[in-house]
Structure formats: structure tokens, C-alpha cells
Amino acid sequence: YGEKGRIPVAEFTGEVGYNLHLLSDYSQTFHLCGGVSALGGYETVNWGKSVLSDGSTLHNGDAFIYGGALTVQADFYLSDKIALTANVKERFVFGNSTGHFHTQYSVGVKFIIE
């Protein structure tokens, strides 16, 4: 919609859950975990403004949101202090105006500080 093709939407959520170790190799350099979590928060559409810049009116507004998520995470340890990680999370969010299913994925490097 508009110049950029989108209406700005922001979600602010908190999440609590449990991860379970699923698989690892003999040398403990690879770990696969799965998890489930509950989430709740707030979603704002167009930062609370119901009128867009061209005069159009939004019928969906800000709302409290709730739901859950399923997660799969893989860690590959390069040393005792460094690991490569990949994560896929499917979030099921209700009470919002932008859809119920959101997929998140990430890759990264973990530095373990003791």
C-alpha cells in the first residue's frame, strides 16, 4: 500500500517456554533441540493512527495478542567456547489483524562466557 507497498505494523511480545534435547552426536559437537512456548504482547498498526497519509481509513487497530510457538534449533560446536547455531520458529498468534502464522528463522554464532 502506498509508496513502499506496506502499512507499518509492529509487535511487542514476551515469550516463555521449554526446550527439549532431541539428538546429539557421540562427540557432543552437534545438538538438536525442539521447544514449545506461550507468548503474549501488543500489536500496533500504523503506530495507532487510523488515517493513512492518502486519507484512507484503517478498520483494524492496535490489539493485545496471544498465542504459542514451536521451535527447532541446531548447534554445531567448533570449540568449547564457540558454536554455530540455526533456529526455525513457527509462531501462532491470535487477536491480531496481520495473520495467524509467522515463521522466523535465524543463523548465528554463540560465544560462551563463563
pLDDT digits (tens, 9 = 90+) for 52-101: 777 777 777 788 999 999 999 999 999 989 999 999 999 999 988 767 88
Predicted pLDDT of residue 89: 95
pLDDT above 80 for 23: yes
CB contact at 8 A, 71 and 104: no
The larger pLDDT score, comparing residue 9 to residue 73, is at: 73
pLDDT at 54: 72
Of the segments 19-23, 25-29, 41-45, which one has the largest average pLDDT value? 19-23
Q: What pLDDT is attached to residue 35?
A: 97
User: Alpha carbon of 114 to those of 15, 44, 83: distances in Å?
Assistant: 25, 39, 14
Query: Does the pLDDT at position 3 exceed 70?
Result: no
User: CA torsion, points 18, 19, 22, 28, in degrees to nearest 10?
Assistant: -140
Q: Is residue 34 domain-resident?
A: yes
102: pLDDT strictly greater than 90: no
Cell numbers 567456547 correspond to 81
Which has the higher per-residue pLDDT, 107 or 51? Answer: 107
Yes or no: say if 67 and 92 are a contact pair by the CB < 8 Å rule. Answer: yes
Number of domains in the chain: 1
Residue 2 lies in a domain: no
SS3 114: coil
Structural domain harbouring 96: 9-111
10 Å CB burial of residue 20 (0-12, 13-18, 19+) is exposed
- Is 1 domain-assigned? no
Residue 4 belongs to a domain: no
